[in-house]
Amino acid sequence: MQTIRYELDAEGIATITFDAPGSPVNTMTLQWQADFAEAVAQVLADKDKIKGVLLASAKTTFFAGAELTSVLQLTAADAAEGFARIEAMKKGFRQLETFGRPVVSLLGGAALGGGWEVALIGHARFALDDPKIKFGTPEVTLGLIPGATGITKTVRLLGLMGANPYLVEGRLFGPREALDLGLVTGLGDSPEALRTMALEWIAAHPNAVQPWDRKDYRMPGGTPASPKIAMGLAVAPAMLNAKTRGLYPAPQAVLETMVEGALVDYDTATRIESRKLARIMVGQNAKNMITAFFFNLNAIRAGKSRPEGFAKWRPAKVGVLGAGMMGAGIAHANAMRGIASVLKDVSLERAEAGKAHSRKLSDKAIARGRSDAVKQAKLLALITPTADTADLKGCDLIIEAVFEQRELKAQVTREAEPMLAEGGVFASNTSTLPISGLASASRAPERFVGLHFFSPVDKMKLVEIIRGRQTSDETIARAYDYVLAIGKTPIVVNDSRGFFTSRVFGTFVMEGAAMLAEGLPAPLIEHAGLAAGMPVGPLAVLDETSLSLSVHVMEQTRKDLAAEGQSYEIAAGERLVEQMVKEFKRPGRAGGGGFYDYPAGAPKALWPGLKAHFEKPGMHAALPDLVQRLLYRQSIETARCLAERVLTSTHDANIGSIFGIGFPAWTGGAMQFIYAEGIDRFVANAETLAARHGGRFALGAAVRDCITRHAP
């Protein structure tokens, strides 16, 4: 066996140790599956000598789950073979847990996905008491389902209602929660303690069996036939569809497997599970989500976009200029990761109000049981509100988060930059203004960088790192390290008007405005956004971000281009937004109303004036055509960013589009959407859209070449 060690000691304890050579983690490779079958065969052959079996790992984690590279190569024709392999592996699981001796899993580290399913082979599980360790079956977040007994066993251990969040939502849990749920038998403070506890448990339970194999077994909470459960299941599909909009097949397959499996015996339930997984894992949705949320995300976490050759960096003290929602949010993000912040505004009162924002977030965390008052008080003490520039002295990093006005940003840069520690970094939290221009106010433009946070900072994971023309590699590396240090996800982009996220986000909202300018009904446009999988419709997004802000950006762009001797041709959607603000005095939600009305005490509703002023009688379009326009427009602009070197990698493109602008996760990101469509098909469809709707959909030769060159 290459990935497993098997040992049988003189006391009759067989230890199966997972230890994949040359890998930091154990995964369910084909070699592991073969080795596991051989290990089980050896256990069965040694049955008369064995008193108990321990499942252990030689890695820092217990088991990482399925090997996902091969999944990307699967086609529909592979489903039958996939089913057979899943069943063969589960046969070994079942043989081990029913061969008549106690089996115990020793969880010295994380056990996720298939790894947790391996842990569930044990009749008992003992885990290290470490809150950093995570367990669970998060397969739905990758477009897959727990198909190696995870659904069947979790339902039988927790019941249908209790299992739901851990299976349908993929919620993870730590050792303490696992103990409370009864999924872990005991906790220890060292691997040696776990082994001792396991041996004691084996001695006390020589005839251990799984709960569902006992004659007196009853499913917790009842079966689907129970009246209370039946009532919940009657509405569960509709509630799930309201969340997924029918775009994510995995959660639906999990729910089906849970309910169908709960109606039959254990072995039949696991076969149902195998069939569902075999179907799901060969689908395009799984490929898309695995590409983005496993391979692309891990590439970013591994620092693929970080310049090499520089030591890891973590600022000890960060200055934040501007205590509004963005600045306060950045200070809070620092504090929650143990980094001291000086939160400066024009008055101490405003700075204190910014810290009060953090206090509200902390109170929520305490109320929800996610933290305790003592810990939160210590973290909040790391934020120092001030109106005195001198308090910034010694900061390793200063981030300005003031209004999007060049003159103001230049002023605060000149005031605060001298306070930096030697070699410190100055950053601008801007969403649109070119970094190279802002850096002109800096004494050290090589240490000036863009850090574009997204609102609300406490919820949005992405930070766009913008490299100016003079920004050094070391500064980019430090910015990258800082973003990771505060628990955010960094992408690196080169300086450009609107950078990447704001530029592509603008295409989404302006395409919606263009549709309205064509005379299409506003409700249809909004529905198309939701049907595509965007968080909200394009008109609603424009309202939230402010129509007047969009007009301000357009006017600033005109001025900038005019100064460069270039013209700016306003598009139909932009003209409509300008008309909404200047003619109809509807600047957006913050200004009292935009595309929507916001009556007090009632839900928002589309402004009736849209129908009167813009919609054309009889003008209609098929919903799939509008969905295609919204998705293609964003993907085309993303490909242009890649071709123009604003973006330098597809992993930054995919993760940035999903986390930054809400591009639908089911697509795997804006570039993965192109590859899932197929390059030839995408190009042909783009040409059709360009012929119908204009040059914004046109793919030039450079963009087509870029798409092909970056194809996976």
**Which band of pLDDT confidence, cut at 50, 70 and 90, is reported for residue 345?**
very high
Tell me: cis bond preceding 175? Omega within 30 of 0 counts: no
The alpha carbon dihedral of 180, 184, 190, 192 has a sign of positive
| Domain membership flag for residue 217 | yes
Same domain for 200 and 223:
yes
Report how far apart, in Å, the C-alpha atoms of 233 and of each of 229, 230, 245 are: 6, 5, 18
Confidence at residue 563, expressed as pLDDT on a 0 to 100 scale:
81
- What average pLDDT score do residues 141-158 get? 97
CA–CA separation, 38 and 32 (whole Å) = 10
Structural domain that includes position 26: 4-282
pLDDT tens for each residue of 41-74: 999 999 999 999 999 999 999 999 888 998 999 9
Same domain for 474 and 339:
yes
Same domain for 325 and 443:
yes
Q: What is the residue type of 669? A: G
| DSSP tag of 213 | G
Q: Are 456 and 470 in contact (CB under 8 A)?
A: no
Same domain for 511 and 455:
no
Pairing of strands 111-112, 65-66: unpaired
CA 654 to chain centre: 11
Confidence at residue 620, expressed as pLDDT on a 0 to 100 scale:
87
Same domain for 365 and 247:
no
CA–CA separation, 544 and 594 (whole Å) = 9
CA–CA separation, 272 and 152 (whole Å) = 9
As for how many domains the chain has, the answer is: 3
Write down the residue that tokens 């000890």 correspond to.
316
- What average pLDDT score do residues 180-194 get? 97
- What average pLDDT score do residues 341-358 get? 95
b/e map 196-206, b = 16+ CB within 10 Å: ebbbebbeeee
Confidence at residue 673, expressed as pLDDT on a 0 to 100 scale:
98
> Out of 10-19, 190-199, 541-550, 603-612, which region has the weakest mean confidence (pLDDT)?
541-550
CATH number at residue 376: 3.40.50.720
Confidence at residue 555, expressed as pLDDT on a 0 to 100 scale:
83
Q: Where are the alpha helices (DSSP H) in 67-185?
A: 79-97, 114-119, 150-167, 175-181
Confidence at residue 367, expressed as pLDDT on a 0 to 100 scale:
86
> Hey, is 656 helix, strand or coil?
helix
Same domain for 331 and 261:
no
Bridge partners (DSSP) listed for residue 135: 111, 173
pLDDT tens for each residue of 87-127: 999 999 999 999 999 999 999 999 999 999 999 999 999 99
Confidence at residue 558, expressed as pLDDT on a 0 to 100 scale:
82
Same domain for 491 and 531:
no
Confidence at residue 562, expressed as pLDDT on a 0 to 100 scale:
82
Share of the chain above pLDDT 90, in %: 89
Select from 54, 55, 57 the least CA-distant residue to 18: 57
Confidence at residue 557, expressed as pLDDT on a 0 to 100 scale:
79
Same domain for 278 and 359:
no
- What average pLDDT score do residues 34-40 get? 97
CA–CA separation, 183 and 124 (whole Å) = 8
Radius of gyration of the chain (CA): 28
pLDDT tens for each residue of 267-303: 999 999 999 999 999 999 999 999 999 999 999 999 9
Q: What is the residue type of 653? A: A
| Domain membership flag for residue 306 | no
Same domain for 424 and 451:
yes
Same domain for 207 and 107:
yes
Confidence at residue 545, expressed as pLDDT on a 0 to 100 scale:
86
Q: Are 475 and 481 in contact (CB under 8 A)?
A: no
Select from 601, 551, 543 the least CA-distant residue to 576: 551
> Hey, is 41 helix, strand or coil?
helix
Q: What is the residue type of 104? A: V
Report how far apart, in Å, the C-alpha atoms of 410 and of each of 343, 356, 436 are: 18, 27, 12
Q: Are 542 and 595 in contact (CB under 8 A)?
A: yes
Select from 457, 427, 422, 459 the least CA-distant residue to 445: 427
Structural domain ending residue among the three candidates 496, 513, 543: 496
CATH number at residue 203: 3.90.226.10
Same domain for 530 and 383:
no
Structural domain ending residue among the three candidates 477, 496, 515: 496
Confidence at residue 40, expressed as pLDDT on a 0 to 100 scale:
98
Select from 619, 623, 620, 636 the least CA-distant residue to 685: 636
Structural domain ending residue among the three candidates 282, 307, 334: 282
pLDDT tens for each residue of 408-467: 999 999 999 999 999 999 999 988 889 999 999 999 999 999 999 998 999 999 999 999
> Hey, is 8 helix, strand or coil?
strand
Same domain for 564 and 478:
no
Q: Are 236 and 229 in contact (CB under 8 A)?
A: no
| Domain membership flag for residue 298 | no
- What average pLDDT score do residues 526-549 get? 94
Confidence at residue 21, expressed as pLDDT on a 0 to 100 scale:
95
End-to-end CA distance of the chain: 33
> Hey, is 617 helix, strand or coil?
coil
| 691 vs 65, more confident | 691
CATH number at residue 631: 1.10.1040.50
